[in-house]
């Protein structure tokens, strides 16, 4: 397997893992997030929606990246999640976690940049089936 696939698999595993561990304790995760963002400038309803949606977004994005399915769309969705997380962390002055979120964003940008070289993926398999036979 080539290194470009490792980039996709690594970021996919990270996002999948984040979503997977949060879903079974969604109510507790939501409550913790609401507590952390009490003093934030962000409206409570926005924080609440993000608290419930984030684990699902992470899980689905991670699954798609692991499979290499809809790779570009999944990486863009993951990047949008990272933008939301960076903005949220900034709003409560949790600057220490922003570096980790930026690393995720760099990996996601690399996934988009290398997506044409993604031999070991559902996208590659489907592209092969769509190619006309000569």
pLDDT digits (tens, 9 = 90+) for 17-56: 999 999 999 999 999 999 999 989 999 999 999 999 999 9
pLDDT tens by residue, 88-120: 999 999 999 999 999 999 999 999 998 777 777
Q: What is the mean pLDDT of the chain?
A: 91
How far apart, in whole angstroms, are the C-alpha atoms of residue 80 and residue 78? 5
At residue 45, the pLDDT reads 96
What average pLDDT does the segment 1-11 reach? 83
Rounded to 10°, the helix 71-91/44-67 angle is: 150
Higher-confidence position of 123 and 36: 36
pLDDT exceeds cutoff 60 at 134: no
The pTM score is 0.88
At residue 115, the pLDDT reads 76
Please report, for the chain, the start and end positions of each structural domain, with discontinuous segments joined by +: 3-130
pLDDT tens by residue, 64-87: 999 999 999 999 999 999 999 999
Element at 59 (helix H, strand E): helix 44-67
At residue 1, the pLDDT reads 60
SS (H, E, C) 76-127: HHHHHHHHHHHHHHHHCCCHHHHHHHHHHHHHHHHHHHHHHHCCCCHHHHHH
At residue 114, the pLDDT reads 83
What average pLDDT does the segment 3-20 reach? 92
């Amino acid at each position: 397997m080539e290194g470009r696939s490792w980039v996709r698999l690594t970021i996919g595993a990270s996002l999948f893992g984040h979503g997977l561990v949060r879903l079974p304790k969604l109510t507790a995760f939501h409550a913790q997030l609401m507590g952390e963002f009490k003093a934030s400038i962000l409206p409570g309803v926005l924080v609440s929606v993000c608290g419930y949606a984030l684990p699902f977004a992470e899980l689905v994005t991670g699954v798609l990246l692991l499979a290499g399915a809809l790779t570009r769309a999944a990486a863009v969705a993951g990047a949008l999640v990272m933008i939301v997380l960076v903005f949220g962390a900034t709003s409560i002055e949790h600057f220490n976690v922003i570096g980790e979120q930026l690393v995720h964003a760099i990996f996601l940008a690399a996934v988009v940049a290398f997506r044409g070289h993604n031999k070991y993926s559902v996208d590659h398999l489907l592209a092969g089936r769509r190619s006309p036979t000569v």
